[in-house]
Chain A
Amino acid sequence: MKIHEYQAKQLMQARGIAVPVGRMATTVDEAVAAVGPVIEEGGHPVVVVKSQIHAGGRGKGRFLEHGDVAGVNVVTDGVKGGVAAAEARVRELAGQMLGSTLATVQTGPEGKQVNRLYIEQGIDIARELYVSVVLDRVSGRNVVMASTEGGMEIEEVAAHTPEKILRETVDPALSLADFQARRLAYGLGLQGDAFVNGVGFLKALAAAADALDTDLLEVNPLVVTKQGAVMALDGKMSFDNNALFRHPEVVAMRDLSEENDAEVEAGKYGLSFIKLEGSVGCLVNGAGLAMATMDTIKQVGGEPANFLDVGGGATEENVSAAFTIITRDPNVKGIFVNIFGGIMKCDTIANGVVAAVKQVGLKVPLVVRLEGTNVDLGKTILSESELNLIAADDMKDGAKKIVELAR
């Protein structure tokens, strides 16, 4: 699960991680009302108006409706004109940004609608750095990564100047040790107050990643101010969905408007679903088999419309819901049901498919491959249902048949 920048900063601040002063706004009036307090609390006449969407590249992104407006805007009008001038400019910007569509390298050309803005204090930046906490799957531990190349994508840095990436592996029994935080701070070239603040920042960040069960906690850029403060100028957090049960405060931050409707609905039924661009809908049990089904469809010349794993413990209702979600996609020109019943019984799948077709109808070709537990019972249910479906011998055979029919 992902959250917005302003939410990430709330969570960071609550854990002793320094962030700039800011206020979230969903309307133009709220945005304007935020300006005075942000300038006063921040002690700086400059404010920044930042689009809040679940995608990066906002600073370089532009609005489809207003080609000259960026996703992040620095408002300097307050320097000469005071709060009133800053408010006037924010009113203008917020009016253009809210409800408009921001396209960045990560959203693709279609962009994403901006419904929330974050009004933040301007910072006198001396240096821009990078720091993140991610899982290192090889050691099975979190690793703190830091780099002097603030503002750059870490993948870029890793590809071109890997020597600039500093790493410290976090022992889960200790969190980031003092000496490790110091080593990172030395590597980042921090001195004086910035060194002391940086060590504290890094330790708090590593501890927050553990305490909040993040699977990514990224601060890019991490800034050092001219006064020697170290703070998170941006903040990106995503969470281990399996740990959300112990973080109700995080669950409350979920913004469903940022997620795909079909994926959200599938989640309610315990289905793992990912929307793709092709024309062959897939209904499969097991994550590996679901991926392999997509691969096989591609292999025989088709394009999958989705990834869908109904899971091992699915009921008829779950299967029926899965089928309904797939058929709702107008791109779908054919459906491939591919089941290897282990725990999942083939008759459960068959009953679910029959029930769904009765409910929503079947307007596209359907190929079904059943194998495993209760396979004969499943096949009997399908043939007695008199559904207009094609049976397949194995996965490849089924993929060929559905790709042919979905053309």
Chain B
Amino acid sequence: MSILVDENTRVLVQGLGSAGRFHTDKAIAYGTRMVAAVHPKRGGESERFEGDTDHSGVPGRADRYALDLPIFRTVREAVDATGANASVIFVPPAGAGDAILEAADAGLELVVAITEGIPIMDMVKVKRVLQGSATRLVGPNCPGVITPHACKIGIMPGYIHQGGRIGVVSRSGTLTYEAVKQLTDNGLGQTSAVGIGGDPVNGTNFVDVLELYNRDPATEGVIMIGEIGGSAEEEAAAWIKANMRKPVAAFIAGTTAPPGKRMGHAGAIISGGRGTAKDKITALRGAGVVVAQTPSDMGSVMLEAMAKAGKA
């Protein structure tokens, strides 16, 4: 089991520039069921992908793959023709908000927006439109979602993942990779890994993903990776305290970040004394979460949390 994506997820890609093409190729190599691409000026064409299979992905495939991915003008046409139920967005920032809206309009269950640099007001409007819709948006400005050996949607390196028992959820890309690799190395492995992104207005938050992991029978524990800015970690802490039945470990980046400075991510900023790492760590510890001192300790605190819960 897993959350959000599995071997049956049928993915279309919006945005076939150099990044979109590169990562679509990696996804196909991993074994993700890429079924369509959407490009307003290239409808009716197809894009050829071929190369060596990534055997860390979906098992039991030939060593080489070759695929002509059909291109459609609109998401709705792509969905009608291929039965796609998820989209991954690489459209550049100025058009990415519109791409999300088009995917939601076509009724896709899951939209993963990788694009970094979408204007905040665009996301404010997108979020307004998505309210009450059946579409779940993950991101933007995120590495994507992966269920090891089943489906990789996004830009994470596939080979560091190993199927297992821990759900990963994170605001940071590279710190997700750190956590995943440590969980692979210490044998706990991952059920899924979800990057919720570094922007201040996003589609899916910690609480949403924690809820999914709490319900997923295969997930035995969760590691969450937060950072300064906003209050998503504090909300997660309150939710964990009230609802979580599984052990949770965490790391929060930005203990040494100066106030008022945007630390790379648009959402990583301490403003008016709020959103500090200290407050977040205190809130999480208060909810019984084991918090790592440094990112190098993420794997070991997860083991500690599992041991505490009698699941080691």
Contact = CB atoms under 8 A, between A and B. Distances in A.
Interface stretch (A92-100, A240-248, A348-356): A240-248
B268 to A, nearest CB: 6
A140 B201 contact: yes
B120 interface: yes
B75 interface: no
Contacts of B156: 342
A276 B123 CA distance: 31
A298 B253 CA distance: 12
B51 to A, nearest CB: 15
Interface in B192-218: 198, 200-201
B255 A341 contact: no
B198 A372 contact: no
B294 A309 contact: no
Interface in B123-162: 123-125, 127-128, 143, 155-157, 160
Interface in A273-304: 274, 276, 284-292, 294-299, 304
B36 interface: no
Contacts of B160: 372
B181 A135 contact: no
A253 interface: no
B106 interface: no
A341 B258 CA distance: 26
B127 A140 contact: yes
Contacts of A297: 256
Nearest to A304: B256
A172 B143 contact: no
Contacts of B297: 396
Interface string B163-174: 000000011111
A130 interface: no
A284 to B, nearest CB: 8
Interface string B225-243: 1011111100100000000
Interface stretch (B42-50, B259-267, B282-290): B259-267
Given A155-B272, A213-B119, A373-B157, A285 B200 contact: no
Most B CB atoms within 10 A — which of A274, A285, A297? Answer: A274
26 contacts: A137-B232, A140-B128, A140-B201, A155-B273, A172-B121, A172-B125, A172-B128, A242-B117, A245-B93, A287-B227, A287-B264, A288-B174, A288-B198, A288-B227, A290-B263, A292-B251, A292-B294, A294-B256, A295-B277, A298-B255, A307-B264, A312-B155, A313-B19, A372-B160, A395-B294, A395-B295
Given A135-B200, A138-B235, A287-B172, 16 more contacts: A135-B120, A140-B123, A240-B119, A241-B266, A242-B118, A288-B265, A291-B257, A292-B175, A292-B251, A295-B253, A296-B294, A307-B264, A312-B173, A342-B155, A343-B155, A372-B177
